[in-house]
Structure 1
Amino acid sequence: MTAAERSTDVAHPVVSDFIARGYHVFDGGVDPAAASALLAKIRALRTFDADLFLSEAEFDADPQYIGVNPAPGRNLLERFEDDLAFVETDPAIVAALTALLGDGYEILLKKLICGVPASVVPDWLKARIAGNPVNNLGAYVKAPFRDITYFYGIDFHQDLIDYKDREADFITLYVYLHDVGTHDAPLFLLEDSHMLGGTLFPHDLTKNGDGWLYRDGRGHEVQTRQHLLTGKTGYAAMWHACTLHGTQPDAADNERLSLRYLIARKPGVAAPGMDAVNATLLGPLSLEATRQDLDARGAAQIKANSVNKA
């Protein structure tokens, strides 16, 4: 890559947005007709109702908290590789990813995320998970349906949370497959939170005004502005691995279905855009430990949730 090409990458609007606020929203999103077509195919395969869940007795007979998320060979999106071209070959998304991550960037993970509506979560489960910082429901979902990640709210977190000892050289791309309003478990994102680098979950946050004071435990703090990610079918946004975001439980009658990608620079390939972003951060790009909310079994051991106060 020439010096001129490196300069062009760093000047791309997505790089400027990542430096300034830790995320980028794509004007116009991606093809809404293609998003709707994919959504129809997914809903033809799966009914998102109370039948997703184990009974309380079934769960207590053999509780499993680890290995309950989508994995290779158990990922609903593997059926729809051709249908995902509207995201993966979208010119604006390809240009943004190339500017940040360089040529030949690689997809670490792609999966379907379901925000489960309150109306279908069993009462026994609501009582058990109330106040948990991360309500990933995979442990309580019947095994055949664990090809999707199901959430009932998740506290503010960094996507670095799942990658201890890995440098923050990747981004998250999120696409809504239908209109998402304020009652559809939209994501809350904290602008400028990436500036403190990697920090331990649960994070030190104090609500004030229209944002949050965020402390890193190392002597730094930043005042963040809370931004709600709502939009029409095909809405698309990406953010830094250290940007805090979360969702409240789905208060609507229907599930919220979205695509979530984690995309990284290819090993050995220059990524001047991401390097320029990371050079502005005040904290570490990787962590030996990313969270302290789980016990040895993977069950929640802390009752705390900031995003529910948003």
Structure 2
Amino acid sequence: MASLTETFIEDGFADLGVLMPEEACRELMQAVRASRNFGPDIFLDQATFEANPQYRGTNPMPGRNLFEALSPKSDFILAEPRLKSALSELLGADYTVLDQKLVCGVPDRWLPDWLKPRIIGNPVNNLGPYIRPAYRDITYFYGIDFHQDIIDWKSRYSDLITVYVYIHPVTAGDAPLYVLPRSHKLGACMFPHDLTKQSDGRWLYRNGTGGEMPLDERMLVGETGYVACWHACTLHGTMPVSSDAERFSARFLISRGQAAQAGLDAVNASIPYPLSLEDTRRDLGAAGEARIKGNIITGRPVAER
């Protein structure tokens, strides 16, 4: 059986299965739902948004992070022994948690009528700019095109991985993650990515510097407590929620520590392309607003606005 490091070398992704206890996930979900009335009321009205549009600084941050505020109910995830062992293998025993937060996939019925024309078909629909400030302690999204998590770490070497946890069952209609295993092999690439759906259902991926490869798509559905992790250069995304219910998950970005050896070193040594970027994306304007329309994962071609 392949080690986790060997799996990451080959796929840049690992399905860890159901690791988290169902009862602890259920209690966490109860606490999340008790924090506010989830629905249309979390959004700003059009006049308030347009009076002072803020496209940056609307994600959870220290002091405004529901996952951290719910400690100790939320502590069980990073304390799970099998997850800790996996992280120690890949990142060294002194790994560092860079970011931890709750993520909410928003169903269509929540969206205000004024907002829909602005966001339908955008490559990245992080809804933070349109959420009332009191509720920006969670990341809310409505579909995100295939991307790498190095997108948020300009000029940083890919010394981190993502851990994603479903804290309730996620089916095909609940905006599950879609991952393209092996895509990390082409290194760090600017967003949006050059992906073309082929007649056999696979994606042809080109990195812009001569590398290209066909990739299979994997949809991550799972029961309560399901965990997956992937490399900072692994492509992944989500469709918008197609059911009537929101989808909640916990997401972590965790970096290599100072240990002398870590499995991620071997993973990165196997990649013959750059693992950092000076510029990570071309889809945003000067204020952080979307300037590109289109979404590859949903079949809409990407074009400049």
Same fold per superposition (TM over 0.5): yes
SS for the counterpart of 2:216 is: strand
Within a 5 Å distance, the mapping from 1:148-227 to structure 2 comes to 148-208=138-198, 209-227=200-218
Instruction: Render the CA deviation track for 1:85-125: whole Å, top value 9, x for unaligned.
Output: 32111111111100000011010000000000111111221
TM-score by length of 1: 0.94
Contact 2:90 2:264 in 1 (8 A): yes
In structure 1, distance between residues paired with 2:284 and 2:223: 35
TM-score by length of 2: 0.95
Aligned to 2:132: 142
- 1:231 paired to 2:222: yes
SS for the counterpart of 1:128 is: helix
**In structure 2, do the counterparts of structure 1 residues 121 and 271 end up closer, same or farther at CA, with 3 Å as the change threshold?**
farther
In structure 2, distance between residues paired with 1:297 and 1:133: 17
Query: What amino acid does structure 2 have at the position aligned with 1:246?
Result: G
1:20 is displaced (CA, Å) by 1.2
**In structure 2, do the counterparts of structure 1 residues 35 and 60 end up closer, same or farther at CA, with 3 Å as the change threshold?**
same
Aligned to 1:97: 87
- 1:297 paired to 2:284: no
- 1:81 paired to 2:81: no
Instruction: Render the CA deviation track for 1:147-202: whole Å, top value 9, x for unaligned.
Output: 10000001000000000111101000000111000000001100110000100000
Contact 2:17 2:228 in 1 (8 A): no
Q: How many residues align?
A: 299
1:13 is displaced (CA, Å) by 2.1
1:29 is displaced (CA, Å) by 2.7
Instruction: Render the CA deviation track for 1:129-159: whole Å, top value 9, x for unaligned.
Output: 1221000000000110001000000100000
Which residue of 252, 271, 280 maps to 1:261?
252
Contact 1:190 1:211 in 2 (8 A): no
- 1:14 paired to 2:4: yes
SS for the counterpart of 1:100 is: helix
1:56 is displaced (CA, Å) by 1.2
Query: Is the helix fraction higher in 1 or 2?
Result: 1
**In structure 2, do the counterparts of structure 1 residues 134 and 271 end up closer, same or farther at CA, with 3 Å as the change threshold?**
farther
Contact 1:106 1:263 in 2 (8 A): yes
Aligned to 2:303: none
Identity of aligned residues (%): 51
SS for the counterpart of 1:124 is: coil
Q: Which runs of 5+ in 1 are unaligned?
A: 1-10
In structure 2, distance between residues paired with 1:248 and 1:184: 9
Aligned to 2:278: 288
RMSD of the TM alignment (CA)?
1.3
